[in-house]
Amino acid sequence: MHELALAESIVDAVRTELERYPGAIPIRVGVRIGVMAAVDLDALRFGFDIAVRESGFPRLRLDARIIPGQVTCLACGVETPAESTVFDCPRCGSAQTMLSGSDELDLDALEVERDDDGTTHV
């Protein structure tokens, strides 16, 4: 499952990032995903729940957003923004569309809390 591997790589990236902030507890990671990466956000969130359970970061939440691309209808030529790779033309209903956009995945935010009181968060 592609999304589970992706979720694990996001958790790994958080872990790497945290090496620069000893004692910090990650609570939110923001990720931007290009539409051409064809990531199912629901599946990614599900995979993230599994990955985070094994990660030692029980409070970490995923904030994933799709970077929209553009769909061009090959039948009628209309262009519309696309947030999914499954796309029928909104004007003529044709399924013959061409999608363009980014396939990148970027970590764009990491929110942490300091564990100053010395308690263990479970």
Q: Residue 1 or residue 76: which is nearer to Zn ion going by CB?
A: 76
Q: Report the distance separating Cα 103 and Cα 12, nearest Å.
A: 20
Instruction: Report in angstroms how near the CB of residue 73 gets to Zn ion at its nearest.
Output: 3
Q: Report the distance separating Cα 112 and Cα 52, nearest Å.
A: 15
Collapsing DSSP states into helix, strand and coil, what is residue 76?
A: coil
The footprint of Zn ion (CB under 5 A) covers: 73, 75-76, 89, 91-92, 94
Amino acid 84 reads S
Q: Residue 56 or residue 93: which is nearer to Zn ion going by CB?
A: 93
- Residue 38 sits at the vertex; the CA angle it makes with 111 and 109, to the nearest 5 degrees, is 10
Q: Residue 5 or residue 76: which is nearer to Zn ion going by CB?
A: 76
Instruction: Report in angstroms how near the CB of residue 71 gets to Zn ion at its nearest.
Output: 9
Instruction: Report in angstroms how near the CB of residue 76 gets to Zn ion at its nearest.
Output: 3
Collapsing DSSP states into helix, strand and coil, what is residue 4?
A: helix
